[in-house]
Structure formats: C-alpha cells, structure tokens
Structure 1
Amino acid sequence: MSTPTTTTVDGGRGDATAGHRPSPTFDLLDAWQLNPKVALRPEPFGALLYHFGTRKLSFLKNLVVVDIVASLADHPNAEAALLTAGIDPASRGLYLQALTALAESGMIIRR
C-alpha cells in the first residue's frame, strides 16, 4: 500500500495530475471550481484536500484560502472570488500563488 504524498499550499508546487493537463498560469479571469474528484475537509488549522484520482493529500493552512477555494464555483471567475473575500491588491500575490499551486496539482480546475 502506498502512502499519499503531502503538499503544503503556501508557495510549493505540486505535480501535474495524471490525465489532467496542468495549468501553466492561473488566470484570475477564468471560471474555476474545486475538482469534482477532490474532497475538502475543514480542519481547525485550515483544511485537508484529498484527490480521489491521484490519492494526493494537500493541506491548506490559511482559512481565507479555504473560503476562496470553497466559493470558486459560486463566482463567475477567480477575480470575483478574491474580491468577495476582501483580498486587496497588495495581498493578492500570496493568494494567486496558492491558487496557482492548487490548479497545477489538479485540486481546482477550470469550469
């Protein structure tokens, strides 16, 4: 039995998901959603993301990122999700980095 890989989303890059084309750049103007093959489980520290296709486990240690990821499908694009979460332009880089890592690992996908 293999052990799931672990990635902390606070700047790290994940491997591309098998059978899913990685996103070389995260475009805020695209519509995004949590991958249907991914379960998001809230935890006191943030959340766990588990990809049932790749068996990859990721940790989100930022509660605001958790809220943004959970709300992506409710917005026309990622920009709207960030605005709704109250992310100002000075802080945007951190959140863009986290969302890019999630897209590259297949945890979130374009709608």
Structure 2
Amino acid sequence: MRPGPVGFDPSRPHRCSPSVAVRAEAFGALVYHFGTRRLCFLKSPELVRIVQSLADFADVHSALDAAGVADARRNAYLRTLGGLADSGVIEPRSGARDCWESVA
C-alpha cells in the first residue's frame, strides 16, 4: 500500500459524501457540507475531477492513476484527500449516492 494520512485508506473505495455540494469555479470549486455547515475550497480543477470521480473507481489510487497524477505529486494528493476525508467531504464508499453538483 502507498503511504497516506492516518485514518484514510486510499486502497479502499471512496465517494464524495452525499451531504456535500460542489460548485465549480474557475479556480477549482467551493464545497459545502450540509451536516457540518462548513465551506471549503478545492484549489484546482484536477482535484475537483478526482473528488467527483472517486465513486467510479475501485480505490483512491485508481482514481489518481486515471487522472494522470504523477508519482512525484501523489503524496500531496493523498494528504489533501485525507484531509477531505477527515472533514467528511469524502467517505469510504458503501452505497451509490455521490456528491451534489450545483450549477451556477
């Protein structure tokens, strides 16, 4: 297994939480968690695509591979995704629902 943040297992399937809305912006996206009422920012369109596509892959590593994330940048993405998991934006997948995407 490749390294990642403690408590976040990138070898497991994940998804964007159904309690989250993602609004695309030029810089990336605004993410609002309805349960915690917290707003966060995804600072790149590539990260937005990865977060929104997690449910399409068997594990997080496969999502990063499909997005073409280079090995040199992989640990940074895993840390970021681990932080998103800690804040409830993404979660281990057990169902089919995905995050909301709002159109502005």
TM-score (norm 1): 0.76
Structure 1 residue 27: deviation in Å?
A: 1.5
2:63 is equivalent to residue 81 of structure 1: yes
Question: What's the RMSD between the two structures over aligned residues?
Answer: 1.2
Give identity over the alignment, percent: 48
Partner of 2:89: 107
Distance 2:61 2:34 in 1: 27
Q: Which has the higher helix share?
A: 2
Partner of 2:96: none
Partner of 1:42: 24
Distance 1:74 1:27 in 2: 17
Structure 1 residue 25: deviation in Å?
A: 2.6
Structure 1 residue 97: deviation in Å?
A: 1.1
TM-score (norm 2): 0.81
Q: Give the match's secondary structure for 2:54.
A: helix
2:55 is equivalent to residue 70 of structure 1: no
Can you give the 5+ residue segments of structure 1 that lack an aligned partner in the other structure? 1-22
Distance 1:103 1:24 in 2: 11
Aligned length: 89
Can you give the 5+ residue segments of structure 2 that lack an aligned partner in the other structure? 94-104
